[in-house]
Amino acid sequence: MQCLVLAGGLATRMRPVTRTLPKALVPVGGRPFADLQLAWLAEQGVSDVVYAIGHLGGLLREFAGDGSRWGLRIRYVDEGEHLRGTGGALRLAYDEGALEPVFAVLYGDSYLSLDLGALFAEFDAARPHVLMTLFRNDGAFDRSNARLHDGSVVYDKTVTDPASRGMRHIDYGLSIIDRDKVVASLAPGATIDLSDVYRELSLAGRVAGVEVHRRFYEIGSPEGLAALEGHLAAREEVR
């Protein structure tokens, strides 16, 4: 299984620490977040990781190296200072020949609880363009952005009143993508947000969804970081 990790953004909400560190290396309980995320991917059976890097990406490359310490193979696609957005990063990885025909894409600040192998199996059985994981949010952790009905997803982050549109779910932070049906059609070199890609595909009926029932954590904000540290500390106490 292959996973592309989106780790190139500026992480402005986490300044000042992200002025000198990429968000993926922000300490979580004294441990670089990338260490947690890569360990989880290895536990899930992922063998191949592609890091899409940009802002301070050299530091992440120096930390993670070739991935052997986690039993992974890690490669890098580097946007440098010309950030192309999350969708543009996928297209760059495609242009550099780094993507498998089917791959997972994971936000570089997401800490998740799901069975990735089962998700790949579901994708193989259904063969949608995109299989998106969703959490029943009802506006609790952030504004809901998706409607899930009979396994089909309508996704739109631009809706100002999600409840009025039946949007009770939120993107959980990981999707599985058919490379040739999705990424090959993105404009080379363009700045593209993956959320816009998902929106257009979902309106065309090309996004399937799977509901995940354990909440997600993220380090995209100081509040999110504190929540994750609290979760991990509580888990250690139980052990």
Domains by residue range for the chain, with CATH: 2-238 (3.90.550.10)
Residue with tokens 């799901």: 114
Looking at the DSSP bridge assignments, the partners of residue 21 are: none
**Percent of the chain's residues with pLDDT above 90:** 62
Instruction: Give Cβ neighbours of residue 36 (< 8 Å, ≥ 6 apart).
Output: 28, 111
**Percent of the chain's residues with pLDDT above 70:** 98
List pLDDT tens digits, range 191-239.
999 999 999 999 999 999 999 998 888 888 899 889 898 898 887 654 5
Task: Evaluate the omega torsion of the peptide bond into residue 16 and state whether it is cis, within 30 degrees of 0.
Answer: yes
